[in-house]
Amino acid sequence: MAQIIPAILATKEEDYRRDIGRIERSLLFKEGWVHIDLMDNLFVQNKSIKPSAIANNHTALYKEAHLMVSHPLEWIDDLISAGFKRIIFHLEAQDVVINVINQIKNQGLEVGLAIKNDTSLEKLQPFLEKLDVVLLMGVVPGFQGQKFIPETINRIKEVVNLRSQGNYNFKIGVDGAAKDDNIKGIVEAGADFVAVGSFLLKGDIDENLEALWEAING
């Protein structure tokens, strides 16, 4: 069964506090993960709150960081201090990928690699045995509310094949523009979890989540 993980993209601490509070009050998200987008205004043209602002607002949910930043190594210590359990950074970042993976692993955290839609999946190959997560982008990273890139479905299937061929154990996640009219295809293609932001957080979270599950099972 695939997992739906609520995603927060906040540029102000009060927005983060509002969204994490709404998720926690949901009857359907009492435990599990929350996906938090973090940006530096360099890797993408948007800037988020800092890990310190997240640390100020405690949550019982397991926190997963999605680093859309040029230098993920500079963020790791602050993310650990803020209580993150999993750090996902971009294959296209400027730091040496294996160094970032090892630094995160050495701290006892789960590690994931995110990959943009226009980056060849072959570039993941050297790192797959070390990963807990491969995160495929369904949009151009950095902003919520975009349209889903259809090619993502084929890329999910390709990563499923890579995992099977190499007998790897990583989970496959999809982030960006997931909603009730495309989530069934995402899950059927082989995604283990789907990070859902704007569709879930606009309006009633429980009703929106129910709509997603109805779409998946319909």
Catalytic positions: 37, 175
The pair of structure tokens assigned to 176 is 């960006």
The pair of structure tokens assigned to 54 is 């997240």
The pair of structure tokens assigned to 170 is 């990583």
Q: What is the number of other CB atoms lying within 10 angstroms of the CB of residue 14? A: 11
- Among 53, 105, 112, 106, which residue's Cα sits nearest to residue 83? 53
Helices (H), the chain: 13-25, 51-55, 76-81, 97-106, 152-166, 183-189, 198-201, 205-217
The residues pairing with 110 across neighbouring beta strands, listed in sequence order, are 86
Q: What is the CA radius of gyration of the chain?
A: 16
- Among 92, 133, 91, which residue's Cα sits nearest to residue 110? 133
- The contacts of residue 70 (CB under 8 Å, 6+ apart) are 40, 42, 43, 93, 94, 95
b/e burial code for range 67-92 (CB count within 10 A of at least 16 → b): bbbbebbebbebbbebebebbbbbbb
- Asked if 55 contacts 82 with a C-beta cutoff of 8 angstroms, the reply is yes
